[in-house]
Amino acid sequence: MNITAYRASAAIFCCAGVTAATAVENPAWHCLEFGNGVFVGQGDRGVYSSTDGTTWALTLPDLRQTLRYLHGVFIATQESPAKLFTSLDGNTWTQRNVPVSYYDGVGCIDVGYGNGIYVATGVTECFTSTDAITWTRHAAAPLHWAGAVPLAYGGGKFVTAAGPGHIVVSSDGIAWKDVSVPTTKTFVGFTFGTAGWVALASEGLIITSGEIWRSSDGESWTKSDSPLPAFPNSGMFYSLPKFVAGRYYIPCYHGLLSSEDGDTFKICAEDKTELPANYTTVTAGGGIIFASGLANANSPRLPYLASADGVNWSTKPLDALSVVSQPQSQIINLGSSVVFTVTASRNGAGYQWLKDDIALVGKTDSTLFVSKAAIGDSGEYRARITFGNTATDSAPSDLRVRSDFNSAAAGRLVNLSVRSAVGAGSDTLIVGFVIAGGSQAMPVLLRGVGPGLAQFSVQQPVSDPAIELFVSGHSFAQNNDWTNSPDFIAAENQVGAFPLTVGSTDAGALLPLPSRLYSLQVNDRSGEAGVALAELYDATKIGARTADSARLINVSARTHVGTGDDILIAGFSIVGDTPRTVLVRGVGPGLAAFGVDGILVDPNLTIYSDNTVVASNDDWGGSAQLSQVAESVGAFGLAPQSKDAALLVTLQPGSYSVAVRGGATTTGVGLVEVYEVQ
C-alpha cells in the first residue's frame, strides 16, 4: 500500500463582499450548505456566503466543483486543477495542499465526514484526514469511481457509485466493498435520513428520468415502485437527492419534490413566477429550508424557494432563524443566582439549554435560571434553538462559581431614582422599597426634586415638592424644604447625587431606617401638576459595610405613564465586585386587583445600560420560572395571560435605567419593580 501524508500551507483567501444584484447575476448553483449561522453556495463563479439566502458575497472566486459543510468546517474542492479550501465562517478560506490523484493529476471529486474522519474521493484513489488539514492518499480503490458522483455518509458507512449497477461502501474511507445492484443505470446521488438510504439512478449524469432505490444498510438495495412526478406543462430535470430538515428532497425543473419515507416523492414546492428557475440544490438552516439553482436565462432573479416547515413555500425571502442576543459568561459567588438569556429572531422558537454539551432536563425557556449556585454548577452553557425542523446553537457561555469571595463586596442594589409627572390622587408619585438583613439601621438618603431639575432643562418642574415616608400605611417622616446640613451634604457626595441649591424648595432627608417595607410619596404642595424626581440611596459609609449589613432588596415606583417624554423611567444602580440577578417588572393590569383606577393596559418594559438595550419584554407570558422567582422574592402574583411585563436578568455592577411605556401609545397608571434575587 502506497501511503503519503501531506501538510497544508497557509494560503488564506478573502474577498470583499458583493451583493446578489451585482455579482450573482443568472447564477448556476451547484451546492448550497448552511453552518455556523451562514449560508454558503458554490456556483459557476465561485463560492459565496449569505446570512439570509438572498444577498450574497463572493468569498472564493473561480472554485466550481464541490462544497460541503462537515463537522463544523466548510470544505470547497475543485477536481481539475486540483484544489481544496477550508473555512469556518464561509468568508475566509485557507487552501490546503491536498494530494492529487495519480490519474492525470486530478484532485478529489467529493468529501464526506463520519466515524471521526474526513474522506475525499478521487478518480481512482481516496484520501482521508482527521482534521481536514492533513490528508493521506490511499492506493487505488477496487473499482473506478463513476465520474463525478457525490459521496455520502450515514449509518456508519460512506457510500458512492462505481459504474452502472455498482455501489461501493466503506466504513473508514480506505477499504471499499463493491455492491452489485440489479440495474443497468448509473447511481448519480445518495443521501441518508430517518428512513435510511435513498439513491437516484439514471441513464447518465443529465437526469431527465430516474429510479429511486432504497437501503437500510447501504449494501442491500430495493427499487421503489413509485415513479418520480413531473411538473405540469414543463420538461423535467432532476437534481441530486438530499435529506434536510426531516425530509428527503429532490430539486428539479421549476421546483422541489419531497418525501417523508424516501419512497414516494410528491411535488412540494413550485416556482410559479413568470420565469421559473431550474432548481439544483437545497439546504436548511436558520429556521429556513432553502432551495436555489440555475436562473432562467431571461431573468436576473435569484432562484429562491423557502419554507419554515417544509409544507408552506414562498418565492419571497423568509426571516432566518438566528441568535439576536447571546448568553454572557458570568463569575458569581457561591450561593448566588445567575441568569443566562438568549434571544432568537423567530417568534415561537423552541429552546433547550445544555451544560457541557449535556441537555438540562426541563430547561426549555429562553432564560436559564441557576439558583443558589454550587461549585458543581461551573461549566459551559449554551442554548439549542429550534424552529420547525431546523436548529441553531447559541455561542457558549462560561459560568465560574467562586468560593473565595468577600461577601461584603457582593453586588447589591443601592438606589432608585424616578422622574415622572406628579399630580393628585392616583397620579401621585409613589416609591416603594424594602430593607432587609442586619441588626443595625441603614442610613437612607431620600430626595424629592423639582426646582433642582431646571439645570437639566426639564420642562415644567414642580415648584415646591414635598416628600412623606410611610410605614404600614402610617406617616413615618416628612420634609418640605431640605436642610443644608453637613451630614446631608456628605451623603449626597458619597452616593454621587447631584447637589441641590442651598435655599431651594426641593425636599430631602437623611434617615436611619431599620429593616422593613417603606413607601415614599412625592407631590407638590401647591397641588399643581408638574415633573418631579424621586430618589432614594443606600448611604452606608464606604468601608462600613459588612456581610451582615442591611441592604435594599426591592425598589419600586408607581405613577402615571404617558407618552413621549412622559413615559415611566426609573434608574437604579448595582455596586460591588460581582454581578447581581434581579427580577424587573412593568405592571399595569396587575394593579387592578389593588383597586387602582386608570391602569396602563399594556406595559412594555426595556432595560438600558447607557443607551444600549440590555433586555426587553412586552407580555410576560405566564412563565412558570418567572412565577416561582416572583414568589420567592415576595412579589405579588400576575395573571398568566395578563399583558404585564417581566424580565429576569443578571447584571454586572453599574447604572441602569428601566423604561415602562404603553403599547400602541396607551397611557395609564403603571408600576415598575426591581427585586434582588438570591
Flag the least confident range among 55-59, 485-489, 557-561: 55-59
CATH number for domain 323-402, candidates 3.50.30.30, 3.30.70.100, 3.40.50.720, 2.60.40.10? 2.60.40.10
Pairing relation of β-strands 11-14 and 4-6?
A: unpaired
Is the confidence at residue 369, as pLDDT, over 60?
yes
pLDDT tens string 191-210:
999 999 999 988 755 555 68
Nearest to 39 by CA among 271, 377, 281: 281
Residues ≥6 apart with Cβ < 8 Å to 404: none
Domain boundaries, the chain: 323-402, 407-676
**If you average pLDDT over every residue of the chain, what do you get?**
84
| Percent of the chain whose predicted confidence (pLDDT) is above 90 | 49
Residue pair 430/670 in contact by the 8 Å Cβ criterion: no
pLDDT category of residue 94 using cuts at 50, 70 and 90: very high
pLDDT tens string 35-46:
888 889 887 788
What are the b/e assignments for 243-276, b being 16+ CB within 10 Å?
A: bbbbbbbbbbbbbbbbbebbebbeebbbbeeeeb
The pLDDT, as a whole number, for residue 320 is: 64
Residues ≥6 apart with Cβ < 8 Å to 348: 387
pLDDT tens string 434-478:
999 878 899 999 999 999 999 998 888 999 999 999 999 999 999
pLDDT tens string 119-132:
988 766 788 999 99
Strand order in the sheet with 288-294: 278-285, 288-294, 305-307, 313-314
pTM (two decimals): 0.59
Residue pair 19/156 in contact by the 8 Å Cβ criterion: no
